Amino acid sequence: MNTKVNIWAERMLAPVAVRKRAKAPALALSLFASLANSQLATLGVAVASIARVASIARVASIARVASIAMATTLAYSPSAKAELNQEQKSQKAWDFILTNGTIMAKIMGDKKMSKKKKRLLLKDILDKNLNTRIATRAIIGRHWRQMNEQQRKQYTLASSQWIVLYSANLLSSLNSTSFEVKDASPIGKDVLVETGVKEQKNTPPIPIDWRVRIDKAGQLSLIDMHVEGLSMVSAQRGETEDILAESGLEKYLKLLEERLQGIKKEFQKNN
C-alpha cells in the first residue's frame, strides 16, 4: 500500500511541477514539516512523496500542493474510515456471536467438566465481552440521577459483578449439544443476533438472542441477552423498579450486595 501511495501522490502533483529542479521555497518546506508532525499525517511515506515533488513546485502552486497533501493524509488516516452500514454491522455482530457463542456452547455441553469450572470459564468470556456499564445503567434507569457519587460507585461495582456472575450461572445450567446462529438484524442502533442452543438432538433449540453494540471505533460488546424471549436487562429493571418503589434506594443497594455475595458462594459449588 505504501508504494501505491507514493505513486498516487507523485501523479497528483505532477501538473504543478516544473521541468527544471529548483530549491524549494522555505514556506513550502515549513508547510510540509507541519503536516508531517500533525496527527493528520499518519503515513510518513505519503508525506515524504509529496514533499519530494513539492521541492520542484512553483511558489504559486503551494496552496494546491497543501490541499492535496491534506487530502492524502486524511484519506489514509485510520480516523477517516467510513461508518459501517446496517448490513456490515449485522455481519460483524453475526461473526462476533458465532465465535463467542460456539466457544460457550462447547463449555456448556462438556459432560466431563465440573459446573464450577463451567461457570468460571463462562464468566471469563462474559468479562471480556459484556458491556456492564451500558447494561447496569439500563437496569437502574432514571434512578441513577437520584444517587450521590458514593451510591453510584457502590451500585456500579456490585451490579457489574452481579450481572456477569448471574449470566454465567444461567448459561452453565444449559447442556448444549449444538449452537446455531439464525439471524442478525438491526434493533435501534444495535444488532440483535438470534441463536438457538439445543440440549438434546430431538428437541427444539432454546432461543437465546444477543443484543450487540458496535461503537464508533468498531468495537463490539454485548449489552443484553434474551433467553426464550425474556430480556435479562428488562427483567432486572422491572424488579429493581419494584424494590425501589417499595423499600427505597438504601434498601435496594443493601439487597444488591447480599445477592452478590450469595451468587459468589454459588460459584464455588461443584453442582
**Statement to judge: residues 201 and 263 lie in one domain:** yes
Average pLDDT of span 24-52: 43
What is the number of alpha carbons within 13 Å of residue 103 lying toward its C-beta? 12
- Which of 80, 98, 128 finishes a domain? 80
Looking up residue 140, the CATH number of its domain turns out to be 3.10.450.710
Instruction: Summarize pLDDT for 7-23 with one digit per residue, the tens.
Output: 434 444 444 444 344 44
- Which of 63, 80, 97 finishes a domain? 80
Instruction: Summarize pLDDT for 173-202 with one digit per residue, the tens.
Output: 998 888 999 999 999 999 999 999 998 878
Average pLDDT of span 14-40: 42
| Diameter of the chain measured on Cα atoms | 86
**Statement to judge: residues 94 and 68 lie in one domain:** no
The single-letter code of the amino acid at 210 is W
Q: What is the domain count for the chain?
A: 2
Q: Is 250 exposed, middle or buried (0-12, 13-18, 19+ CB in 10 A)?
A: exposed
176: CB partners within 8 A, 6+ apart: 105, 106, 108, 109, 197, 198, 199
**Statement to judge: residues 56 and 90 lie in one domain:** no
Instruction: Summarize pLDDT for 69-98 with one digit per residue, the tens.
Output: 444 444 444 444 567 898 999 999 999 999
**C-alpha cell of 134?**
451500558
CA angle 125, 134, 190 (to 5 degrees): 85
Give pLDDT, residue 81: 55
Asked if residue 207 lies in contact with residue 229, where contact means CB atoms within 8 angstroms, the answer is yes
